[in-house]
Amino acid sequence: MAGSSFGKLFKISTWGESHGEALGVVIDGCPAGIPLHAKDIQQDLDRRKPGQSPFSTPRNEPDKVEILSGVFEGKTTGTPISLMVRNTNQRSYDYTEISKLYRPGHADYTYNMKYGFRDYRGGGRSSGRETTARVAAGAVAKKILQELGVQIMAYTLSIGPISIDKDHFDPKEIYANFLGMPDPIAAKEAAAFLEDQKKKDDSTGGVIECQVHGLPAGIGEPVFEKLDAVLARALFSIGAVKGVEFGAGFAASTMSGSENNDFFHMTKEGKLTKLTNHAGGIMGGISDGFPIECRIAFKPTPSIYAPQKTVNTDGENVDIQVEGRHDPIIVPRAVIVVESMVALTLVDYLFQNVLSRMETIKKAFK
CA distance 247 to 279: 5
Question: Quick one: which of 43, 54, 58, 147 contacts a copy of itself (CB under 8 A)?
Answer: 147
Minimum gap (Å) between residue 49 Cβ and a copy of itself: 19
Please report the beta strands in 270-331, taking only residues with DSSP state E, as ranges in sequence order. Answer: 272-274, 282-283, 286-287, 292-298, 308-311, 317-320
Between 176 and 311, name the residue whose CB sits nearer to a copy of itself: 311
155: contact with a copy of itself by CB under 8 A: no
Question: Per rule CB under 8 A, is residue 102 in the interface with a copy of itself?
Answer: yes
50 interacts with a copy of itself by CB under 8 A:
no
d(CA 106, CA 93): 19
Single-letter amino acid, residue 3: G
- Tell me how far, at minimum, the Cβ of 141 lies from a copy of itself, in Å: 13
Instruction: Pick the closer one to a copy of itself by CB: 63 or 262.
Output: 262
Asked if 186 contacts 162 with a C-beta cutoff of 8 angstroms, the reply is yes
Contact status: 145 vs a copy of itself (CB under 8 A) = no
Contact 301, 194 (CB under 8 A): no
Give the separation between CA 21 and CA 38, rounded to whole angstroms.
20
Contact pick of 20, 51, 184, 291 for a copy of itself (by CB under 8 A): 20
Provide the CA 48 distance to its chain's centre, in angstroms.
Answer: 10
Name the residue nearer to a copy of itself (CB basis): 47 or 102. 102
- Please give the DSSP secondary-structure letter assigned to residue 235: H
- Closest CB to a copy of itself among 172 and 365? 365
Does residue 279 interact with a copy of itself by CB under 8 A? yes
62 contacts a copy of itself (rule: CB under 8 A): no
340 binds a copy of itself (CB under 8 A): no
User: If binding is defined by CB under 8 A, does position 63 make contact with a copy of itself?
Assistant: no
Question: Considering the rule CB under 8 A, would residue 97 count as an interface residue with a copy of itself?
Answer: no
Residue 77 is a binding residue for a copy of itself (CB under 8 A): yes
Stretch that binds a copy of itself, among 37-45, 52-60, 179-187, 351-359 (CB under 8 A): 351-359
Among residues 74, 192, 270, 337, the one that binds a copy of itself under rule CB under 8 A: 270
Is the torsion defined by CA of 110, 116, 120, 124 positive or negative?
Answer: negative
* Distance (Å, whole) CA 360 – CA 147: 18
**Rule CB under 8 A: is residue 291 a binding residue for a copy of itself?**
no
Contacts of 224 (CB under 8 A, 6+ apart): none
Per the omega criterion (within 30 degrees of 0), is the bond before 318 cis? no
Q: Does 132 bind a copy of itself (CB under 8 A)?
A: no
The residues in 298-337 that bind a copy of itself, with binding defined as CB under 8 A, are 298-304, 306, 308-311, 315-317
- Out of 124, 180, 182, 332, which residue is the one contacting a copy of itself (CB under 8 A)? 124
Cα 248 to Cα 242: distance, rounded to the nearest angstrom: 18
Give the CA distances from residue 264 to residues 216, 228, 270, 271, in Å, rounded to whole numbers and listed in that order.
Answer: 17, 21, 12, 10
